[in-house]
Amino acid sequence: MLADMQKRSKDSETRRASVTRRTKETAITASVDLDGTGDFKVATGVGFLDHMIEQLARHSLIDITLKAEGDLHIDQHHTTEDSGIVLGQAVARALGDKKGIARYGSAYLPMDETLTRVALDVSGRPYLVWKVAFTRSKIGEMDTELFREWFQAFAQHADLTLHVETLYGENSHHIAETCYKALARALRQAIAIDERQSGRVPSTKGQL
């Protein structure tokens, strides 16, 4: 089994976190500020993946810094999946005990001929429903089958119940981009602080 070493840190007064993951396949560090302005600095070595994570940052208003070095001489699978893992872990870490958050979020995201719907629950019970079909096998140099791998990894490690469905669309670039932008908008809703929660965890169980 490959070593998975994680170095985590959290600012006790703000919703920030950093996570580092090193394996024989990748070395990735991600930092997030959930109360940011959507700033980003992303370098994975996969151009289109960078573009999508930048969209996630800008439209969720989460500041994201992510640097990945991976075995791209083999293919893009490990870098894509592990980027989702590390970013998901950073979000989960920054959320802490989840007190005061809205918890649920959803968004319909149109882009030209394409419409995608995302609904999510910061539930602590990771699950992905993925109903997205692409019309091409690649966007640029990125295999479109890898988008599911990224969303699966992100949902699993951010502890999200995540439903993603493209209702219709033809252009694969538009389909991918609406998935990330809709995730961003739904996530922005779900992690927002609801003042009426008064610092409570939004569950009758008392924890998520």
For residue range 165-199, list pLDDT tens digits in order. 999 999 999 999 999 999 999 999 999 999 888 78
Query: Residue 185 in contact with residue 109, Cβ under 8 Å?
Result: yes
Provide the mean pLDDT of the chain. 92
Pick from 56, 48, 42: which is nearest to 109 by CA?
A: 56
Provide the strand spans (E) within the chain: 5-10, 16-22, 26-33, 40-43, 63-70, 104-111, 114-121, 127-131, 138-139, 142-143, 161-168
% of the chain beyond a pLDDT of 90: 86
| pLDDT number for residue 11 | 40
Token pair 């939004």: residue = 202
CA-to-CA dists, residue 107 to 42, 80, 117, 139, 184, angstroms: 24, 24, 6, 24, 9
* Average of per-residue pLDDT across 14-39: 97
Rounded distance, CA 13 to CA 33, Å? 12
Rounded distance, CA 26 to CA 158, Å? 19
For residue range 129-147, list pLDDT tens digits in order. 999 999 999 999 999 999 9
Burial class (CB in 10 A: 0-12, 13-18, 19+), 202: middle
Name 74's Cβ contacts closer than 8 Å, sequence gap at least 6.
Answer: none
Can you list the domains of the chain with their CATH numbers? 5-197 (3.30.230.40)
For residue range 46-67, list pLDDT tens digits in order. 999 999 999 999 999 999 999 9
| pLDDT number for residue 195 | 87
CA-to-CA dists, residue 119 to 17, 36, 142, angstroms: 24, 22, 25
**Is residue 69 scored above 90 in pLDDT?**
yes
**Is residue 31 scored above 70 in pLDDT?**
yes
For residue range 80-122, list pLDDT tens digits in order. 999 999 999 999 999 999 999 999 999 999 999 999 999 999 9
